[in-house]
Amino acid sequence: MLFEANLRTTAMGILPHTDVEAALDLALSVDIPFWPQLPKVSFYEDMYAQASEGFPGIRLDLENERVLFDTARFYDELLTYAEASQDPAFFTLSPTYSTVYHRFLELDLSDRIAIRGQVIGPISFGLKIADENRKPIIYNEDIKAILLEFLAGKINRQLAEMQAVHPRAFVWLDDPGLEFIFSSLSGYTDLMARADLAEFLHSLRGWKGLHLCGNPDWHFLLDADLDLLSFDTYGQGTVFSRYAEAVIRFLERGGVISWGIVPTLTDTLSKENVAGLVARLEDLWDHLVAQGADRERILRQGMLAPATCCLVNRDGTETVERAFALVRAVSETLRERYRLY
């Protein structure tokens, strides 16, 4: 393991803030801080737009907030991309595409156990971004090959820049599209995804993490070459716990689970408190222990986080900030109960 998690706190990268300083303060309020993505500040910070910087064939329609892709333009720009991408600096996230990233790297974070970044995963990107015929680019083998290489370059560059300021830095994939490959609506199958994800993860340096808010086939992810899996425990925990054998294997090989236990929707959060969320988590852990999991591993290799990102609450940032405070309170309660220091 990169570090002993011991139920320390982190959170997903996307925040609803328009006040940059407030967003950065909130991101620093968890044990393992991250640089925040702020799509309400600029469309450049939409997680798909942000990751697209430098990809051949893409342009941003800022007025209509769309990521556009043109196949002919892709092939026209491919040689230029191939030459430029030989320099690792090509993959650096520029200040235009992130208001906060470079400021985050300038902070003294040496007292933190770890720091974290994030990039959209290739499967989600490839399914979301469509060509001029509205066909997702992941179906074009030429484009998909460049996409896997490109996003690996983005992640490896971000990791190198973050490791320059903290030795225990890591970058996780935000990959919501993984939920949809198991539906009959997707022509991109789980077998294709398994092969592509394996190839992609093999090309990444450092600790490999993935966050998913949805409900995939959990065997698919728990058996992948991942060091960390972050998920919406509040919404999906019961289903997740049914995959006890796979969870146990994941933990036994040193995998860390980030338990997203605190909801971020206003109405749902208003019904919860520390005691209730602690009990909800412990019920899940008790079930896993009854199936043969080692409780000490669950605790030592566990992190806590909000359940999901949330940009839709009518109160702007208030609910999300309360969720972060509640995550910290749940962590403090459990760390004291189990003497995790």
pLDDT at 184: 56
pLDDT at 179: 80
- The percent of residues in the chain predicted with pLDDT above 70, rounded, is 99
Cα atoms in the 13 Å half-sphere on the side-chain side of 4: 8
The distance from CA 52 to its chain's CA centroid, rounded to whole angstroms, is: 16
Grade residue 263 by pLDDT with cuts at 50, 70 and 90.
very high
pLDDT at 186: 67
Instruction: Collect all residues with Cβ–Cβ distance below 8 Å to 76 and sequence separation of at least 6.
Output: 56
pLDDT tens digits for range 144-156: 999 999 999 999 9
For 8-42+92-337, CATH gives 3.20.20.210
User: What is the mean pLDDT of the segment spanning 41-52?
Assistant: 97
Can you give the pTM of this predicted structure?
0.95
Cβ(53)–Cβ(97) below 8 Å? yes
Cβ(326)–Cβ(269) below 8 Å? yes
Grade residue 176 by pLDDT with cuts at 50, 70 and 90.
confident
Backbone angles phi, psi at 257, to 5 degrees: -115, 125
CA distances from 179 to 88, 213, 214 (A): 31, 8, 6
Domain-by-domain residue ranges, the chain?
8-42+92-337
